[in-house]
Amino acid sequence: MARPEPEELVRLVDAFPGGVPDAGDAARADDLLDGAYGALTREWLPELRRRVAAHADGDYLRERVLEHVESVPSFRLSDGPTPLAERREALAEAAALRDDVREVAEWYGTLRSRLEGDRASLTRGERLLHDFGYALAHGLFLGASSPAAVVRRLRLAYRVVGVRIDDTASEGGVERTTFTCPYRNVAAGTCGDRWVCHEKLDRVDDGYVSYLAERGIAYQRPRGCPNTDQCRSTVARDGPEQWWPKTPPAAVGAEP
């Protein structure tokens, strides 16, 4: 899958399938989905359109768009691997009220997959960086099978390349790291702020992501790091959590 051109993203966002957000059935669907439906259509979508337009104008990195896409208002359908039956029933009722509950999930899946792409969507140089990170991960994370063990190795790797660790935290099985990257302004005058760091060098981190995902560890590398000198990353177990709109109603038997 090729990485989408900015104009293609504009067209995809313009094709958002949501209906009239203030209709009576929309209010009921919003209640059933704990406000996620309304927050998505009234707050998240306008900001997405703004970011995609800025990306098309060359003012925003693709990472800034993906960061917002990943922060979509959501409605949990499971607690880790445990299905939440009442919430799935609520999703089924909402989907019966409005077709766009299902359509938005399908649209969101397409949008996210187009932004995330895969190894085949990278340029030759980016693939080399990804594969270098993937190969390096075999040694870096050898024997590390828990988020705590992985993050210790990851912070070591950060420090080796000159990254300053500013803060660390552990909460609910999620290991968080806040750091200052010395490469964020490399070639900024030529390529733009953080372009080299986040559009190129982060492909090495993507190699780590690929390696760890195969072993059940979710490494959320930094996304764009806007308006700050610091970046943040997290490491956690990669559990089978399900939530709308990432999970469509049909995937959890919640089709009307």
Mean model confidence pLDDT for the chain: 84
- Contact (CB, 8 A) for 181 and 203: no
What is the residue extent of each domain of the chain?
6-118+241-252, 121-237
Q: How many CB atoms lie within 10 A of CB 246?
A: 17
Cβ-Cβ contacts under 8 Å for 231 (sequence gap 6 or more) = 178, 179, 180, 181, 184, 222, 225
DSSP-assigned letters across all residues of 86-113: HHHHHHHHHHHH-HHHHHHHHHHHHHHH
pLDDT in tens, 30-53: 999 999 999 999 999 999 999 999
Q: How do the pLDDT tens digits run along the chain, 256 residues long?
A: 445 678 888 999 999 997 665 567 888 999 999 999 999 999 999 999 999 999 888 887 787 888 899 889 999 998 766 788 999 999 999 999 999 999 999 999 999 888 876 666 667 888 888 899 999 999 999 999 999 999 999 999 989 988 889 999 998 788 999 988 777 666 555 555 565 666 677 788 889 988 998 898 989 887 656 556 778 888 988 766 789 999 999 887 766 5
| pTM, entire model | 0.67
pLDDT in tens, 203-230: 888 899 889 988 989 898 876 565 567 7
